[in-house]
A and B are shown apart, each in its own frame.
Chain A
Amino acid sequence: MKKDNILDNNYLPFAARIEDIVIESEDGSLKTFKIVFEDEADWEKWRHEPGQFAMLSVAGKGEAPIGIASSPYERDGLLFTVNRAGVVTTALHEMAVGARLGVRGPLGNGFPVDGDLKGKNIVIIAGGFAFTTLRATLLYLLENRGDFGDITVIYGARTPGMLLYRNEFLDWEKRDDINLYVTIDREAEGWHGLVGFVPQIVSQVNPSPEGARALICGPPIMIKFTMPPLEKAGWQDNQVYLSLENRMKCGIGICGHCSSGPIYVCKDGPVFTRAFLNTIPQEY
């Protein structure tokens, strides 16, 4: 009779604990959790790429797939920015520093920072709280600044109070090796930056497709209206990377919830080129 290793279980998360919580948005709907492993040795097992996600597990409530906001170089804790939406994320929002939870991952693919993106001009376009894995990506690009060409970031939120990572954006603004465009939807008191929806700003910035790749994360409506100005500027679909979100359960490409045609967003994605997505049913 064969021995069964009960620890060899795809669904067993790393034991972890919340070390810090930052309330990101003025309405409290977005919080960034800094999470550390209970067992220091688990850090040795953990390697993620920018763009990947993990299942955050609240025992008794369930799991939710959350993009990893920290860069692979931040080794003192994992960052997850969580929007309060369902049962699990609501429970997470109610948890305090020190509370224990599980982290299962890293899952999915990431942006091909070591492949197709290398040596290219990178245009990051994000709306709302979808900036999370792009933060990880941006930090990776900056850490390996010499491997990439121009870096352009276009990021928008409804109001100044809904912008993520505000302190970091202030730091990035000071750098001369990032072209940064931060916008809000409508005029607001005390805001002196850009005003307008992300697609409008994309249209104004008019990034060149020459030797470039675009990484886009945001609500479907933003993505829909961002594509025409890019197409007008000559961007091809294989130059555009999108990160999808779908309902997920297993995270290893079996349970079926996140399927969109033949793909499992959790395993084959969440990052896809637009050229590829054009070839499959759009059920996301």
Chain B
Amino acid sequence: MNSMDTPKKLIQLSKEDLLSAINGLKDVSYTVSPNFNDNAPGPGDNIIKRFMFPQPEPLLFLEREGKDMVHRPYCVISKSSLNPDDDTSHHTISDTVAETIILGIRPCDARSLWLNRLACEEDNLFSRRVDGLIIFGLLCNKGLSTCFCEDVGGGHQDVRGMDVAMIDDGDGELRLWAVSKKGLYILNRLGIYEDDIIDGLMEGATDNSHEKVGDCSLLDELMSKDMLTLYNAPFWQDIKDSCLNCGACTFLCPTCYCFDIQDEAYGKVGRRIRYWDSCMFPLFTLHASGHNPRGEKIYRVRNRFMHKFKYFIERFSHISCVGCGRCIIHCPVNIDVREVIGLMRAVS
């Protein structure tokens, strides 16, 4: 909880002023969530995932040297830059950590960054990339009927994972404050920190923001459940019957981080890329021998929920779900994670 002790100084300014200040920053790119513009309730488009886990992400560059192909730590930008006729196009070496402002994502998505760090921090490419992200989170005034962040330990006012927190009361003015050192740093750089402070104006709101953060009752309850009893519970059978085993839930999920790695080579050059993969797919676990440890659909459906609500807890003491509800909205067959949580809770 990096945010709780950070001193807060509230700033009030218009969206336009914030945008133009950000626009004026050199060397910092930015992306604006649709939520920032319209403050529509709910998580909106999952833009943070594309920055946490861009795909395809080049891991290595492959180059023919003599009769063998060898590995290079260079980055290539896109497949079309892999032009076999052009020996120079691919030598784009990124030697700096790009700083990118993500503007206007919701607390659920900001929290996903915080949770994914737990799982992925050993991956240098991931860590360096997310170190360069500066999160301007937009707190929620109200949610959608599918939002359930508070049930999984988050909240509409949860600022974890954010660098700057923003409140939009719909009057065209934003109220914002830094919740991390990075947030202080960027607000200073934006030159909006010293002048426009409104002391104490939103003290109530900020105190209030801590009230519902981190309800751990579900976490505690799931932690105390016996893993194999949950695993062998009969209800997975019914969930499996409906499931199509597509990857919509996993790919829309901000805390699904599984990936696959593949080589693509064209003549003299190639790249090793990573891209999103899903434990819903039978290929995910298929051995070269043909043996498949999760060969039946029930294993795969169960794995996704068990990972989020039991295995991840075992490893990291947190639920790997931020309650954004995207999987609920987009599941073609109404497999509702809230219902599955309820079934898991009922297992004794």
Q: Which of B71, B123, B259 contacts A15 (CB 8 A)?
A: B71
Chain B binding surface SS class:
mixed
Residues of B within 8 A of A85 (CB): 288-289
Which chain B residues (81-139) contact chain A, with CB distance < 8 Å?
A: 93-97, 99, 119-120, 122-125, 128, 131-132
Q: How far is the CB of B37 from the nearest CB of chain A, in Å?
A: 29
Which chain A residues (1-34) contact chain B, with CB distance < 8 Å?
A: 1-4, 6-13, 15
Residues of B within 8 A of A9 (CB): 59-60, 73, 124-125
Task: For B97, give the chain A residue with the smallest CB separation.
Answer: A2
Task: For B258, give the chain A residue with the smallest CB separation.
Answer: A256
Contact code string B221-249 (vs A, CB < 8 Å = 1, else 0):
00000011001000000000000000000
On whether the beta carbons of A6 and B123 are closer than 8 Å, the reply is no
Chain A binding surface SS class:
loop
Q: Quick one: which of A59, A100, A245 has the most chain B CB within 10 A?
A: A59
Q: Quick one: which of B68, B132, B293, B312 has the most chain A CB within 10 A?
A: B293
On whether the beta carbons of B258 and A281 are closer than 8 Å, the reply is no
User: Is A250's beta carbon under 8 Å from chain B?
Assistant: yes
Residues of B within 8 A of A256 (CB): 257-259, 277, 279, 284, 307
Residues of A within 8 A of B289 (CB): 85
On whether the beta carbons of B70 and A59 are closer than 8 Å, the reply is yes
User: Is A190's beta carbon under 8 Å from chain B?
Assistant: no
- Known contacts A59-B263, A283-B285; decide if A261 and B95 are in contact (CB<8 Å): no
Q: How far is the CB of A104 from the nearest CB of chain B, in Å?
A: 9
User: Is A254's beta carbon under 8 Å from chain B?
Assistant: yes
User: Is A247's beta carbon under 8 Å from chain B?
Assistant: yes
On whether the beta carbons of B285 and A4 are closer than 8 Å, the reply is no
On whether the beta carbons of A255 and B293 are closer than 8 Å, the reply is no
On whether the beta carbons of B277 and A257 are closer than 8 Å, the reply is yes
On whether the beta carbons of B261 and A281 are closer than 8 Å, the reply is no
On whether the beta carbons of A6 and B70 are closer than 8 Å, the reply is no
In the complex, A134→B284 CA distance in Å?
A: 28
On whether the beta carbons of B68 and A246 are closer than 8 Å, the reply is no
User: Is B291's beta carbon under 8 Å from chain A?
Assistant: yes
Chain B interface residue count, Cβ-Cβ cutoff 8 angstroms = 63
Residues of A within 8 A of B265 (CB): 59-60
On whether the beta carbons of B62 and A60 are closer than 8 Å, the reply is yes
Q: How far is the CB of A279 from the nearest CB of chain B, in Å?
A: 7
Q: Which of B74, B261, B287 contacts A62 (CB 8 A)?
A: B261
User: Is A57's beta carbon under 8 Å from chain B?
Assistant: yes
Which chain B residues (140-161) contact chain A, with CB distance < 8 Å?
A: none
In the complex, A57→B62 CA distance in Å?
A: 11
Residues of B within 8 A of A8 (CB): 124, 128
Which chain A residues (267-284) contact chain B, with CB distance < 8 Å?
A: 279-284
On whether the beta carbons of B94 and A4 are closer than 8 Å, the reply is yes
Which chain B residues (275-307) contact chain A, with CB distance < 8 Å?
A: 277, 279, 284-289, 291, 293-294, 299, 303, 306-307
In the complex, A54→B94 CA distance in Å?
A: 27
On whether the beta carbons of A279 and B228 are closer than 8 Å, the reply is yes
On whether the beta carbons of A10 and B294 are closer than 8 Å, the reply is no
Residues of B within 8 A of A255 (CB): 258-261, 274, 277
In the complex, A64→B94 CA distance in Å?
A: 28
Which residues of chain B have a CB within 8 Å of any CB of chain A?
27, 59-60, 62-63, 65, 67-71, 73-75, 93-97, 99, 119-120, 122-125, 128, 131-132, 227-228, 231, 257-263, 265, 270, 272, 274, 277, 279, 284-289, 291, 293-294, 299, 303, 306-307, 310-312, 314-315
New A-B contacts (19) at CB < 8 Å, excluding given A245-B287, A249-B261, A262-B314: A10-B125, A11-B59, A11-B60, A11-B125, A12-B60, A59-B71, A60-B62, A63-B261, A86-B288, A99-B68, A100-B68, A247-B285, A250-B259, A250-B261, A254-B123, A254-B259, A255-B260, A261-B306, A281-B228
Closest 9 CB pairs of A and B: A256-B258, A86-B288, A59-B69, A60-B265, A85-B288, A262-B311, A100-B68, A283-B293, A11-B59
Which residues of chain A have a CB within 8 Å of any CB of chain B?
1-4, 6-13, 15, 57-64, 85-86, 89, 99-102, 220, 245-247, 249-250, 252-257, 259-262, 279-284
Interchain Cβ contacts under 8 Å between A and B, 16 examples:
A2-B96, A3-B95, A3-B97, A6-B75, A9-B59, A11-B59, A12-B60, A59-B62, A60-B62, A86-B288, A246-B285, A246-B293, A247-B286, A253-B122, A259-B279, A262-B315
